[in-house]
Amino acid sequence: MSPSRLHRFRPRLLDALTDYDRRRFGADLGAGITVGIVALPLAMAFAIASGVKPEQGLFTAIIAGFLIAALGGSQVQIGGPAGAFIVIVYGIVERYGLANLLIATSLAGVLMFVMGLFKLGALVRYVPVPIVIGFTNGIAVLIGLSQVKDFLGLETPKLPADFFSQIAVLARHAHTLNPAALALAAASLAIVVLWPKSYKMPTAPSGLLARLRRLSAHLPGTIVALVVATVATVLLDLPVETIGSRFGGIPQSLPSFELPEFSWATAKQLLIPTVTIAMLGAIESLLCARVADNMAPIPRHDPNQELMAQGVANFVTPLFGGIPATGTIARTVTNVRAGGQTPVAGIVHALTVLAVVLLAAPLALHVPLAALAGILAFVAWNMGEWREFVRLRQFSVQYRTILVGTFALTVIFDLTVAVEFGLILACVFFIYRMSTLFRAEPVAGADAPEGVQVVEVFGSLFFGAVGKLEALAAQPPGTRALVLEMHRLISMDTSGLDALSQLRRELERRGVRLVLAAVNEQPCSLMRRAGFEDELGCANITTTLAEAYAAALAPEPPVSPAG
């Protein structure tokens, strides 16, 4: 392939630094620290919910967050572990093991980089909206279900990956409910929901209450909930499970580099997990970047560069024990609202998480898992677009079938099956709609000579619509020629051309001549390249109806090379 067809690797950071100044650095520094504080509890919560250790989420936020910001194609996107991956990662760990998760993530990184290199970033935008809404809402339901155990403090074995099996396990152990865990989780959820979230506060507040409100608006509700729950657990000696009791704490050190054992035999078994991670990461990151573009007056993101950066991050992060990463909507929105302007904010966010890990890791020993469950319950609720279920009656049956089908399959089976089903169903409905647009109708009031039938065809003649063309072979007795007026036929594929060729042969067998009038450029080019122009005869392809009538009344029919 020509190098000009490959995407040129150029991170958006290089453009942002050309006119960088102290004012922009101050804005990026404040936003980056804010997002780093927000990312801290989320990274641990996402990792625990995914079935891995909390430090793996933190290492992902540090390494992937840094690489995505430094190499990406968006000005303000924040990368790291995401809620959308919880269900996928949990299922892969259950089925294939942690080592194979790391291999699948690195392979997915390679696939994402190749997608960006070959300029396939724009194709992600072609995923239909009902599919995106369906699997997003399905993932949100599964995240919420996965948190029931810690939210209620149930004493259960490790939950299976299957939806109905999880419900059965939770129901069997409902009698082990821990009131202290439930109270902590409910309080944490309430704090996150009710805590002020606006960073645009008055510059000159008056009074103590206004100053406190301004200060509280700069403290993320997730951190407040985490601190309050941890302090309550320690001071009241609550009998709840903590990070220390389940995982033994978080190491106060940098992650170590380690190559996972790799073999082609293993890689073949990981094809589906690899593709799932790559496609979900690509969709999530590019949707997130589009959201950011609409929120801030910044240059629009480069989807191919963003995919290449996501690929590098997902290839490198597992080498340090990290999990899949992508663009994260909640943290990106926080970055924009906090005043982030360039990728420097994303880099500061990663360094902030690193600093907290190096300086305050021992404090995580006492973080109650119930508090993280309350935070994740809020994340799951915010992730879902629940209003779309209420608005379903406003849309077509096809839209409703795709959305509800994708949602149900995501919950019952898995994301891969759901997206495959959704795409296949969307294609089937699209083919059906396009076929209904193609019409072949007699021209009313046409001043055609006696024995000449005129039919106007319009739309797109493709494999889904050829049946309507085949019906034209049945012409009334006494018909000398059939004229197809084609100026409103916008496109034709090879199946349509084959149907046209069969129509010509069937009409010729019945002694009826086929003449085409006003053929557009695309169908005409296809006819010429496929040899149909010679088969029909150039005299039978005309530019006007008058010329078509003259060709139809010509005394000698054209000689066809085929017969």
- In Å, how far are 53, 89, 181, 432 from 97, measured between CA atoms? 13, 10, 29, 43
Q: Which residues have C-beta within 8 Å of that of residue 4, sequence separation ≥ 6?
A: none
Residue 330 and residue 413: Cα distance in Å, rounded? 26
Given a contact cutoff of 8 angstroms between Cβ atoms, the answer to whether 149 and 170 are in contact is: yes
Q: Within 13 A of 261's CA, how many CA atoms are on the CB side?
A: 5
What 8-state DSSP symbol labels residue 122?
A: G
Q: How far apart are the C-alpha atoms of 38 and 335, rounded to whole Å?
A: 10
DSSP of 348-377, one letter per residue?
HHHHHHHHHHHHHGGGGGG-BHHHHHHHHH
pLDDT at 252: 81
Q: Is 368 exposed, middle or buried (0-12, 13-18, 19+ CB in 10 A)?
A: buried
Return the structure tokens found at 327: 């663009």
* Selection from 535, 514, 534 nearest residue 454 by Cα: 514
Whether the CB-CB separation of 362 and 252 falls below 8 Å is answered with yes
Count H helices and E strands in the chain, helices first.
Answer: 26, 7
Smallest Cα–Cα separation from 112: which of 325, 344, 333, 287? 325
SS3 397: helix
Q: Residue 443: how many CB atoms within 10 A of its CB?
A: 14
**Cβ contact 376:83 at 8 Å:** yes
Residues 6+ apart with CB under 8 A from 247: 48, 53, 54
In sequence order, what are the residues at sequence separation of 6 or more whose Cβ sits closer than 8 angstroms to the Cβ of residue 16? Answer: 75, 341, 342, 343, 344
In whole angstroms, how far apart are CA 222 and each of 197, 348, 373? 11, 19, 11
Contact 214/205 with Cβ under 8 angstroms? yes
Residue 293: strand, helix, or coil? helix
Nearest alpha-carbon partner for 267 in 108, 51, 117: 108
Domains annotated on the chain, with CATH: 22-385 (no CATH), 439-553 (3.30.750.24)
Q: Please, what are the averages of pLDDT over each run of 10 residues along the chain (563 residues)? A: 72 90 90 89 91 93 96 93 89 89 94 93 81 88 91 89 89 94 95 73 55 67 90 93 88 82 77 90 88 79 94 96 91 86 94 91 88 91 89 90 92 81 88 88 80 91 88 87 92 93 92 92 93 90 90 66 44
d(CA 480, CA 321): 77
- Both tokens of 331, joined, read 């943290």
Span between the terminal Cα atoms of the chain, in Å: 42
Angle between helices 129-146 and 397-412 (to 10 degrees): 30
At residue 242, φ and ψ (nearest 5 deg) are -125, 175
Q: Could you tell me which residues come within 8 angstroms of residue 183 by beta carbon, excluding any fewer than 6 positions away?
A: none
The answer to whether the beta carbons of residues 282 and 314 sit under 8 Å apart is no
pLDDT at 204: 46
**Amino acid letter, 556:** E
Measured distance CA(151)–CA(144) in Å, rounded = 10
Q: What is the pTM of this model?
A: 0.79
Q: Which amino acid is at 177?
A: L
Q: Is 452 helix (H, G, I), strand (E, B) or coil?
A: strand
pLDDT at 197: 64
Nearest to 278 by CA among 69, 425, 121: 121
- Token match 């190491």: residue? 251
**Residue 316 contacts residue 67 (beta carbons within 8 Å):** yes
Beta bridge partners of 483: 454, 515
